[in-house]
Structure 1
Amino acid sequence: MKYFDCHADTLTQVIKEGESLEKNTCDIDLQRIEKFADTYTQIFAIWKNRKEILPGTESSVFRKSYEKAIELLQKAENKIRLCTSAKEMEDAHQNGKAAAFLSVEDVSIMGKDIERIRELGFLFVLLSWNYENEYACGAAMNQAQGLTDRGRDIVKFLLQQGIVLDISHLSDRGVEDLFQMTDKPIIASHSNVRALCNHPRNLKKEQIQELIRRKGLIGMNYYRNFVGGTEDVEAIIRHMDAVLNLGGEDVLVLGGDFDGCSGEFPDGIQGVQSMPVLRKAMLEHGFGEKLTEKVFFENARAFIGRNL
């Protein structure tokens, strides 16, 4: 079985002494994945709550999280490889290893290190988290507030660096501003469908259609509040159906937000070990082997191949 997930906070959540990426009490570890997946790619986010960072200390606080993440990956290098291109991902898989990519969730937490974003190995960026920063505003804060002037400048810089922009967490107005600034592929790594669950973190129909047009990615999030309550995995599949009904067969992927949901998942999802349950439910729902494979792996792999 092949498995590609577009968003997890695990590298910033492995904090208990003695735990590792190979084995831990978080939502993801490599031992659990090895039990069901022979090919695995994960986009890991580096994240901090900006409100908890004192002004002027962004770079030093960020660097601690970044260095810890790199250390976790290095200690598991016999099983997983940090990648910065499609070729490196394919090489990792051919050598029996998982592949990891890095994302930064709220680019403002990087401070001055933003200038070295590619050098540090990041390929994906979310401009904001839940709140407002100097670049943009989070969807949970104010949907009508768009990119700032500094935000427009940082978008231009990130695009020049070949960074893939991620609109999960970004306000509706910020998404509109971003769409107007560039026609490049953009992703929503961990966002669902607002028409099914009216939450500001979910995507509007028009946003989904634009991501489809651009051949981006839309990653299904397992957080209960974004799915629509305490239902089982069928609720996640209904969000998949909504994307597919808009023509999203080639952009629909998984973005479970593991270790970013405080364990609040629909019934049937406990952690990464539940992915065979989701896959089985998709097949029973009638997706078929080919479509299920596209959602579980091939769509995200193809996006990496086209853009990185």
Structure 2
Amino acid sequence: MTATIPRVPVFDGHNDTLLKRVITKGTDRETDFFERSTLGHIDLPRAQEGGLVGGLFAMFVPSNIRQDFSKPYNPSDTKNYDEIDQSQALDFTLKMAAEAFRLERSSNGRVRICHNVREIRECIDQGIFAISLHIEGAEAIDTDFNALEVLYNAGLRSLGPVWSRKNVFADGAPMRFPSSPDTGPGLTDTGKALVKACNELGILIDLSHLTEKGFWDVAATSNKPLVASHSNAHAICPNARNLTDRQLDAIRETNGLVGLNFHTAFLREDGGYSRQTPLETMVKHVSHLIDRLGEDGVALGSDFDGCMTPTDIPDAAALPALIESFRQAGFGEELIAKIAFKNWLSVLDCTQN
């Protein structure tokens, strides 16, 4: 009789589900989070089917919030990288935070916004979907950090100073292939002050999307583990969004973490936008990350609802296929558990106060 392998819980380091929900509200693409859909990547039934127990839910403000989101995203359109006004960004961020609060309130106890790792662990134990709020690109934060204080008290526990565009805090790395991540300036003085303010509050600083100079500025400024929530190995896919071995070594020195991004253009050696990307390519990145970071420094940062995923992982329900690919590559069950959820909980515990 063959023993049944238990479903591995997955705590994911990055998704754009809140943005997806806000921009589709009132359209024919609006979905019920509590009903299974074929649109997008995450809803509660598909999360439960795939073992996704929660994750960092990003609040990202597009440069053109009035664009037609029903059309495919064009990474070459320069309008997608225009700087954005702080008050406009804050207003849009509040819409996404409010969407998270509404999901929690209407869930009948099935969804919870978590403020610390203890609450996340309780959710995993009790079968409750755990949401931890994250900001991707800090345009919503004013230079006096008043919004930061308010959003922290609302549940914000992770923040990326930039997306792939410039703001008052730093420059963002473009989605350029082939390219070094050394594409422009790093943190401004205000950006360094933001890092220190986040350290003081216990908000994780996310290095994904920063230029290489920005990465090293955070490394010199922060007193917390270095974390890139959704980035891959530059040695395999030389996209400006990925991390060099030197950067990975610096992350390891701080007991930090990198979450594997599922976006095909950040996975493929040719940098191509093709869903015909085998799971073996994802395993190759994870193996390289383990070699540079150690078993405690690698996790998942899917970018669900914000990226083009491989055909074999069309949505959250298919996460067991990736887990099985790790087994086929010879990863032991304890290592798989670390990659799937344990490492995220450990690093969040180290960064939160």
TM-score (norm 1): 0.92
Selected match of 1:42 from 32, 55, 60: 55
Q: State the number of aligned residues.
A: 305
Alignment of 1:47-62 (within 5 A): 47-50=60-63, 52=65, 53-54=84-85, 56-62=87-93
- Judged with a 3 Å threshold, the aligned counterparts in structure 2 of structure 1 residues 7 and 55 are, in CA distance, closer, same or farther, namely closer
Which residue does 2:328 correspond to in 1?
284
How far apart are residue 75 of structure 1 and its match?
2.0
The answer to whether the aligner puts 1:74 opposite 2:105 as a matched pair is yes
- Judged with a 3 Å threshold, the aligned counterparts in structure 2 of structure 1 residues 56 and 3 are, in CA distance, closer, same or farther, namely closer
Structure 2: distance between partners of 1:109 and 1:136: 14
| 3-state SS in 1 of match to 2:153 | coil
How far apart are residue 146 of structure 1 and its match?
0.8
| 3-state SS in 2 of match to 1:302 | helix
1:104-153 Cα shifts (integer Å, max 9, x gaps)? 00111344522423112101000000100010010118723111121112
Structure 2: distance between partners of 1:110 and 1:240: 33
| 3-state SS in 2 of match to 1:259 | coil
Instruction: Give yes or no for contact 1:62–1:110 (8 Å, CA) kept in 2.
Output: no
Selected match of 1:246 from 292, 303, 312: 292
The answer to whether the aligner puts 1:97 opposite 2:128 as a matched pair is yes
Instruction: Give yes or no for contact 1:137–1:170 (8 Å, CA) kept in 2.
Output: yes
Q: Which amino acid aligns with 2:114?
A: C
Alignment of 1:138-177 (within 5 A): 138-140=172-174, 143-177=183-217
- Mean alpha-carbon deviation: is it higher for 279-288 or for 93-102? 93-102
Selected match of 2:232 from 192, 216, 235: 192
Q: Which amino acid aligns with 1:245?
A: D
Instruction: Give yes or no for contact 2:86–2:139 (8 Å, CA) kept in 1.
Output: no
The answer to whether the aligner puts 1:294 opposite 2:338 as a matched pair is yes
1:24-66 Cα shifts (integer Å, max 9, x gaps)? 42201110122242x7121100111246545643332322232
How far apart are residue 169 of structure 1 and its match?
0.4
| 3-state SS in 2 of match to 1:207 | helix
How far apart are residue 221 of structure 1 and its match?
0.4
Structure 2: distance between partners of 1:158 and 1:36: 33
- Judged with a 3 Å threshold, the aligned counterparts in structure 2 of structure 1 residues 292 and 31 are, in CA distance, closer, same or farther, namely same
| 3-state SS in 2 of match to 1:46 | strand
| 3-state SS in 2 of match to 1:147 | coil
Selected match of 2:244 from 181, 200, 204: 204
Instruction: Give yes or no for contact 1:105–1:129 (8 Å, CA) kept in 2.
Output: yes
- Judged with a 3 Å threshold, the aligned counterparts in structure 2 of structure 1 residues 108 and 22 are, in CA distance, closer, same or farther, namely same
Which residue does 1:118 correspond to in 2?
152
Structure 2: distance between partners of 1:57 and 1:42: 26
| 3-state SS in 1 of match to 2:202 | coil
Structure 1: distance between partners of 2:31 and 2:209: 29
- Judged with a 3 Å threshold, the aligned counterparts in structure 2 of structure 1 residues 205 and 276 are, in CA distance, closer, same or farther, namely same
How far apart are residue 248 of structure 1 and its match?
2.2
Which residue does 1:20 correspond to in 2?
32
Structure 2: distance between partners of 1:306 and 1:157: 16
How far apart are residue 172 of structure 1 and its match?
0.5
Which residue does 1:109 correspond to in 2?
140
5+ unaligned residues in a row in structure 2: which ranges? 1-6, 66-83, 176-181
Q: Which amino acid aligns with 1:292?
A: I
1:82-118 Cα shifts (integer Å, max 9, x gaps)? 1001111122223321211010001113445224231
Instruction: Give yes or no for contact 1:4–1:41 (8 Å, CA) kept in 2.
Output: yes
Q: Which amino acid aligns with 1:59?
A: L
Q: Calculate percent identity across the aligned residue pairs.
A: 30
Structure 2: distance between partners of 1:22 and 1:183: 39
- Mean alpha-carbon deviation: is it higher for 85-94 or for 48-57? 48-57
Structure 2: distance between partners of 1:255 and 1:153: 26
Structure 1: distance between partners of 2:86 and 2:345: 38
Instruction: Give yes or no for contact 1:11–1:72 (8 Å, CA) kept in 2.
Output: no
Instruction: Give yes or no for contact 1:93–1:99 (8 Å, CA) kept in 2.
Output: yes
How far apart are residue 274 of structure 1 and its match?
1.4
